[in-house]
Chains A and B, each alone.
Chain A
């Protein structure tokens, strides 16, 4: 029992989580802090980010906020620098920040394509480029990239997100291969639909809401950010010290039906307006 508890602890480790002001990133930051890590919360939503830090500190965790637009190389370099300056080292990097624009290749402007890929893919390259030398100094590290079940799927007018997420899966393998000998592991998580818990709570009494939200899933409950956070904890912990280069799908079993029925679902979601990632 003690051994198990110890395997999951992150005491003395420093974790950077991008896009940590809300949703999945926030839950990962909370979970890691709860296991003893010092967490650098990075985001562009400063007020929410500071609130996340205050919440973690109120629960006796250690956290600090840094403004970082991961679409900008200077911000990423400064983010890694901030972790070293404030906490002295970097052990864990979670690349979670997100921005993408819906549209077909004909509809999309070049600037939207570039911005999507800057945040969804180039940010991972830059984050690893500057974090890995710091991980080397402490004898190893763990990187988690948040990909998506969309890495393996196609659906309407979603070319940036799906192409970039497929790239994330393969980027993960390559980094794992290159840096495994230096005890730096790199894995990604492919979440399915993870609604905002607040939204689920607000609609929980409505007949049909849960049925619609879980229609394609083998497990008949909506996903929750903690499902992803727990998978992330497993993957960075010593429980997963033999796992690298892998993509762990956390989606209630939706991927098994996604290619056929998922497209319909995505269409409905996209109908609600741009900027809303399933």
Chain B
């Protein structure tokens, strides 16, 4: 049997792996959901966030090996320090989830260069900085998984909320993801992205207000073939698959997890 009946889900498990998930500091976000599921699948998980207290609180809530660390993904020194801390406690990073991100709904003609740079610095450059911090180790060990969070917005010039700079950053993530897949595949490293549609996290009401978030939710529930908006767990399920041995032959893939609202 391909899937060992003695150990349900074994190729989908992450036993013995060390995972670093960025943007895992908010209580209801995608990052914490991924970290929680990875821990349940047997990985030791580092939750990294600019909000160190949030990351630590989320780590404490996990039943398994979990660690909260401070990171500012725009600062290479901060990322290096976070990685050093994770390696000290858990060992080398096998799985990197580039999840840290912000969104903005400013229209093009009102977007300042500062805001543009800020979105790109976190959503796109931040992933590059984090990848570089763990890359050499993965290459020398000939095993690694990189999971990127892109977005439906990166394929459609914007999403239900994010506008030009957000769309550009998430489209950029696709390019980085596939470039990493091409160059790192020979070293046993896969690089894949998830492109979620609307996900019900605190990010929406925090950035756009409660009323807007509720309207978006209702829109998706009407339009999506599966008749609901996504939860962070839906995205975590896909992130688990991509990090597991079950997906060892998948690389450079942008997996759309959106309930059927968009295909390409």
Contacts and interface: CB of A to CB of B under 8 A. Distances in A.
A219 B255 CA distance: 18
Contacts of B8: 4-6, 8-9, 35
A251 interface: yes
Given A239-B240, A250-B250, A180 B9 contact: no
B181 A253 contact: yes
A256 B248 CA distance: 16
B145 to A, nearest CB: 12
Contact of B185 (A185, A219, A240): A219
A1 interface: yes
Given A9-B8, A245-B263, A256 B225 contact: no
B11 to A, nearest CB: 6
Interface of B: 1-5, 7-9, 11-13, 37, 40-42, 178, 181-186, 188, 190, 224-227, 230, 234, 237-238, 240-241, 246-253, 255-260, 263
Nearest to A240: B237
B225 A177 contact: yes
Contact of A242 (B1, B3, B241, B259): B259
B227 A180 contact: yes
B45 to A, nearest CB: 14
A30 B1 contact: yes
A256 B247 CA distance: 17
B2 A219 contact: no
A9 B251 CA distance: 25
A132 to B, nearest CB: 14
Contact of B249 (A27, A234, A252): A252
Interface in A30-64: 30-31, 33-35, 59-61
Contacts of A244: 225-226, 259-260
Interface of A: 1, 3-9, 27, 30-31, 33-35, 59-61, 173, 176-181, 183, 185, 217-221, 223-224, 226-227, 229-231, 233-234, 238-253, 255-257
Given A176-B260, A180-B227, A246-B263, 15 more contacts: A1-B41, A7-B9, A34-B2, A34-B3, A176-B225, A180-B260, A181-B226, A185-B226, A218-B181, A218-B184, A218-B251, A244-B225, A251-B250, A252-B185, A256-B178
Contact of B182 (A61, A179, A185, A218): A218
A248 B185 contact: no
Nearest to B1: A34
A218 B186 contact: yes
A248 to B, nearest CB: 7
**B225, B250, B258, B263, most chain A CB atoms within 10 A:** B225
A35 B255 CA distance: 24
Given A180-B227, A217-B185, A248-B255, A227 B260 contact: no
Nearest to B185: A218
Contacts of B257: 242-243
B225 A218 contact: no
Pick the 4 closest A-B CB pairs, nearest first. Answer: A180-B225, A218-B185, A5-B8, A242-B234
